[in-house]
A = this chain, B = another copy of it.
Amino acid sequence: MRTSEAIGVTKLTATEGAVLGLLAMEGEQTGYDLLKVARRSVAHVWAPAKSQLYAVLPRLERAGLARSRSGGRDRGPNRHLHRITKRGERALESWLETVEPGDREGFYLKTFLGGLMSQEALVAHYRQFRVDTLEQLAVYGELEPTNSRRGHDYYHYFLLRLGIEQAEVALAWVDEALAELEG
Chain B positions within 8 Å of A112 at CB level: 155-156, 159
Q: Which of B44, B115, B162 meets A152, CB within 8 Å?
A: B115
For A129, the closest partner residue in chain B by CB is B162
Q: What is the number of residues of chain A that contact chain B, defined by CB distance less than 8 Å?
A: 32
**Stoichiometry, copies per complex:** 2
Chain B residues within 8 Å of A111, by CB:
155, 158-159
Question: Which of A8-16, A66-74, A87-95, A169-177 forms part of the interface with chain B?
Answer: A169-177
A148 within 8 A of B: no
Residues in B whose Cβ lies below 8 Å from that of A113: 152, 155
Complex Cα–Cα for A41 and B151 (A): 14
